[in-house]
Amino acid sequence: MKRDEARLRELGLWPPHGLRAAVPLRDPGTAAGLATAALAAAPVASAIASATVDTLDWPALDAAIRACSACGLCRTRRQAVPGTGSRTARLLVVGEAPGAEEDQRGEPFVGRAGGLLDQMLLAIGFDRTRVYIANVLKCRPPENRNPAPDEVDACAPFLQRQIALLQPAVILALGSFAARALLGGDGRVGALRGTLHAHRGVPVVVSYHPAYLLRSPQEKLRAWEDLCRLGDVLAAAGQRTDRSA
């Protein structure tokens, strides 16, 4: 994987020497890996009829998200934020929820955290136009509080339909809420990262949310480990770029 030293220095990730061997991968074919996949395949309850969402194409899905009133967030949002990027991308990035700037602009990851995400993706050879970026929640929680369980459940069919339409080669889960939504359980990023997981057969790499990295820059080296792992999984799938490339 080609590395741009200047870009990595901007991220605070240079030098990366030895990081690739620092944390071993767990083979998704092992018993532990299969157990994770089985857990991820469990059905998710929702306030929205999943059978209806499961029939939607991209335009109809985006429209349904923008018109959604399944939970109380519809009363406090400026607008819903469906997702952005290439609908033929092989890399799906999943975050937690829109923030104030995302709520205003209708696009995920556009603030400072979004700028850092852009640099992280560029470090492994992607720009945001060649991936698809979405959040667990499609509406901003007031004061950027943590998502409530009923809100996560209400949005779950939307994320599942996005995954089904996209059929990504790998998912990058950023932050604990994204990881839990995809993998189940109540694990934290520190415990989940370093292992290759799966969601309904799709490999999942867990890493820190860029907003957390802005507050805790000492974790950027571990984030670089995760990016290297992500690149390895994409390379193994023969998908370093999207299908239109």
Distances (CA, A) of 135 to 102, 113, 168, 245: 11, 13, 15, 25
Say if residues 141 and 73 touch (Cβ distance below 8 Å). yes
Q: Is residue 108 reached through a cis peptide bond, with omega within 30 degrees of 0 on the bond before it?
A: no
Answer left, alpha or beta for residue 196, where phi above 0 means left and psi between -120 and 50 means alpha: beta
pLDDT > 90: what percent of the chain? 73
Domain coordinates of the chain in residue numbers? 28-235
pLDDT at 28 over 80: no
Give the pLDDT mean for 102-109: 95
Of 141 and 30, more confident: 141
Dihedrals phi, psi of 94, to nearest 5 degrees:
-120, 125
pLDDT tens by residue, 126-171: 999 999 999 999 999 999 899 999 999 999 999 999 999 999 999 9
Residue partners of 8: CB distance under 8 A and separation at least 6: 14, 16, 123, 224
pTM strictly above 0.85? no
pLDDT tens by residue, 186-236: 889 999 999 999 999 999 999 999 999 999 999 999 999 999 999 999 999
When pLDDT is cut at 50, 70 and 90, the band that residue 18 belongs to is very low
For 28-235, CATH gives 3.40.470.10
Say if residues 194 and 188 touch (Cβ distance below 8 Å). no
pLDDT tens by residue, 68-93: 999 999 999 999 999 999 999 999 99
pLDDT computed for residue 52 by the predictor: 87
Of 119 and 7, more confident: 119
When pLDDT is cut at 50, 70 and 90, the band that residue 49 belongs to is low
